[in-house]
C-alpha cells in the first residue's frame, strides 16, 4: 500500500468514500494550517471539510454536519515503514 491518500475520504461507513483500512491506519487533517481532529469527511480538490455542528443529531441519529471551505492537507498518522512492507 502506498502513502497516497485519496482526494476524498469519509468516516461514515454508509458513504461511498469510506475506506476502513485506511482509517484504521490513522489519517490526520491539517485545515488552513491548523490540526483538526473532528473531521467527518474531506475533499482536497474542492477544498472543504465536513465537521459536526455541536452535539446536534438528525432524525436518524447521525451528527448534523456543516461544510467549511479552506486549504485541506491530509496525512497519515502511521506511515508504512518500507522495511516492514516486504
Q: Where are the alpha helices (DSSP H) in the chain?
A: 20-25, 82-85
Q: What is the count of structural domains for the chain?
A: 1
Residue 59 in this model has a pLDDT that exceeds 70: yes
Q: State mean pLDDT over 11-30.
A: 94
Residue 36 counted as domain residue: yes
pLDDT band at residue 52 under the 50/70/90 scheme? very high
Structural domain includes residue 1: no
For the entire predicted model, the pTM comes to 0.83
Domain span including residue 34: 8-78
CA terminus-to-terminus distance, the chain: 11
Across all residues in the chain, what is the average pLDDT? Answer: 91
The residue ranges of DSSP E strands in the chain, in sequence order, are: 8-10, 27-31, 34-36, 39-43, 48-57, 63-69, 72-76
Cell of 82: 518500507
Q: Is residue 84 part of a domain?
A: no
Whether 86 is covered by a domain: the verdict is: no
Residue 45 lies in a domain: yes
Q: Report if residue 2 sits inside a domain.
A: no
| Residue 3: inside a domain | no
Amino acid at each position: 500500500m502506498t502513502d497516497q491518500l485519496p482526494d476524498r475520504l469519509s468516516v461514515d461507513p454508509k458513504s461511498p468514500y469510506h475506506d476502513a483500512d485506511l482509517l484504521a491506519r490513522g489519517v490526520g487533517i491539517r485545515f488552513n494550517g491548523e490540526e483538526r481532529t473532528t473531521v467527518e469527511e474531506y475533499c482536497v480538490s474542492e477544498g472543504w471539510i465536513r465537521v459536526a455542528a455541536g452535539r446536534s443529531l438528525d432524525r436518524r441519529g447521525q451528527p448534523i454536519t456543516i461544510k467549511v471551505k479552506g486549504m485541506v492537507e491530509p496525512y497519515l498518522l502511521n506511515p508504512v515503514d518500507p522495511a516492514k512492507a516486504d
